[in-house]
A and B are shown apart, each in its own frame.
Chain A
Amino acid sequence: MSQVLEVKNLTKTFRGRRDWPWSPKSVAVEPISFTLGAGETLAIMGETGSGKSTLAKLVAGVESASGGAIYLNGQKLYDNNTKQRCQNIRMIFQDSEKSLNSQRTIGQQLEEPLLFNTKMNPEQRYHSVVQVLRKVGLLSEHYEFYPHMLSTGQKQRVAIARAITLEPQIIVADEALVALDPSVRAQIINLMLDLQQEMGISYIFVTHSPQIVKHIADKILILYRGKMISFEQTELLLNKSQEPYVEQLLHEHLSTEHSNKKRQKR
């Protein structure tokens, strides 16, 4: 399988809240290398503060890397070339509510990527947006809606619509499923898997839910304090891993259920 994304020694250092030249640096992500094939799903796992969100943001282009390089189909991605990046790598945010502009209609927001990355005229843009809305299970009427008129699940669908508008090769989802309740979460996961089959998208999921990872991920990347401690096929990692940290992450739900039961008994 050809590799869509190749990440080589990607690093990120922060300088704290105030970015003075003399303030001390802290390392958020230590040199990380991994690859992702077309149509594959990669799950990034790790405890809170392990740098998994930072890694996702680096890949999506929200933040610029301090070192290393990202190659897309063998081409190097540059920070200042947003066009190249946003046509191929798109991001879905954790909180769909916050990631939508409350003052503008859904249609206006979905037209944004088309406006800046294609040469469509307004009519073509409208039709393209309506088509995408239908694809994610919304109606063409939603074009005129404002975000506050939609439910959380619908907002997440809009966020997905925005991500797939330019028919990208990779979608980065940063904890995109956390805020949803279980039934909606199932719907959204199925939608994303359908889209993956249909359009051949590769996903990078940042999550800490082992169930979802087992359900959808082909590969798992595990981070611990900014270091990559394992990058494996899901089955291999699930069956063979002996490391306690990995065990803990992958079977977290069991242990929390366990402790809940214990608490109830007391």
Chain B
Amino acid sequence: MAQPDLYYKDNNPSPLQLVWYSFRGRTAAMFALWVLIALLAVTLLSPILIPYSPAQQFSDAISLPPSWTQQGNIQFMFGTDDLGRDMLSRMLIGSLYSFALPLTIVIVSSTFGIFIGALAGVDRNFKYQLLGHVFDRVLTIPSFLLALVIIAILGPGLGNAIIAITLSLIPQFIYVTRNAVHSEWQKDYVTASRLNGCSDTYLMYRVILPNITPALVMQLTVALSVAIMDIAALSFLGLGVQAPTPEWGSMLSRSLDEVYLSPWSMVLPGIALFITITSINVVGDSLRRSIKQRMDN
């Protein structure tokens, strides 16, 4: 039996809660969010979930098709590649490099970028102008190209790819944060808080930060999908994750030679990348719409 609310209860949703209510009403967005949550869970649990070691070669099951086909074997659910390695294990471990790693990269670069951007946004004079002009120019270079340039200097390899992508994402965070903080800083409510005698840290974290969250959240989703694409692309080109390590981008590039013989070795990592990036973009876009809807009301 449903329990009726006998007493009137105060329910004052905060603006962020209102965004969540609006977001919750979007079916596609919620679906994409659950996909992402499931993906994150699978990624974090992948060392436990894998049936075989991703490097283990089964000489009796080379290029075995996935289990749902006639020739398939349930022992290897997603089949095996041309060296007889289990595709499912490789995909699961690959998610660590293709999903968890970009997530970490985004967290690190956003921390740096938001911090520098906040510093630059507060200062109205020289620092602001200088950073503004520098980053306006840097941003005309696509982040992937920037990452390529950094790789060209440092040399290929997983560590260098991580450094390159982190560095190439930071300018965007600085730019977005700087602009958001700068436009908020001039508004009356910040002046009012300043006249209340608030300290600078309080002003930044408690007064301004709640108001620029929408911009930051949107930049985070964009940066995440860019980071996933970049690391996959670098690995595809052989500049990122190196050969035996299973990463979706490098798996794609390996499967190019044998795409007619074993198409699943190309399709499966491709689908995984597609699902990941699509759901991130759907979540990001719905978030943007929900925020806009809240602003309009």
Contacts and interface: CB of A to CB of B under 8 A. Distances in A.
Contacts of B207: 101, 104
Nearest to A141: B10
A78 B192 CA distance: 18
Given A98-B189, A103-B211, A104-B210, A146 B12 contact: yes
Nearest to B203: A112
Given A144-B10, A146-B14, A60 B189 contact: no
Given A82-B197, A141-B10, A99 B15 contact: no
Nearest to A86: B197
A149 B11 CA distance: 12
A134 to B, nearest CB: 18
Interface string A92-117: 01110011111111000100110011
A94 B187 CA distance: 12
B198 interface: yes
Contact of A91 (B125, B195, B202): B195
Interface residues of A, number: 35
B188 A99 contact: yes
A70 to B, nearest CB: 15
Nearest to A57: B191
A174 B15 CA distance: 28
Interface string A127-150: 000000000000001001110110
B195 A86 contact: yes
Contacts of A83: 197
B196 interface: yes
B217 interface: no
B155 to A, nearest CB: 42
Nearest to B210: A103
Interface residues of B, number: 25
Interface string B105-129: 0000000000000000000110001
Contacts of A162: 192, 196
B188 A103 contact: no
Nearest to A111: B196
What is the predominant secondary structure among interface residues of chain B facing chain A? helix
A256 B125 CA distance: 42
Contacts of B202: 116
A116 to B, nearest CB: 4
Give the interface centre of B16, B191, B194, B197 by most chain A CB atoms within 10 Å. Answer: B197
Contacts of A144: 10, 12
Contacts of A109: 193
A103 to B, nearest CB: 4
B199 interface: yes
A226 interface: no
Given A103-B16, A103-B211, A141-B10, A98 B188 contact: yes
Contact of A100 (B189, B194, B195, B199): B189
B197 A105 contact: no
Contact of B129 (A18, A141, A146): A18
Contacts of A112: 193, 196, 198
Contacts of A61: 195
A99 B191 CA distance: 8
B197 A117 contact: yes
Contact of A98 (B187, B193, B194): B187
Contact of B197 (A93, A100, A116, A146): A116
Interface in B8-24: 10, 12, 14-16
A146 B15 contact: yes
A62 interface: yes
Contact of B192 (A19, A85, A91, A105): A91
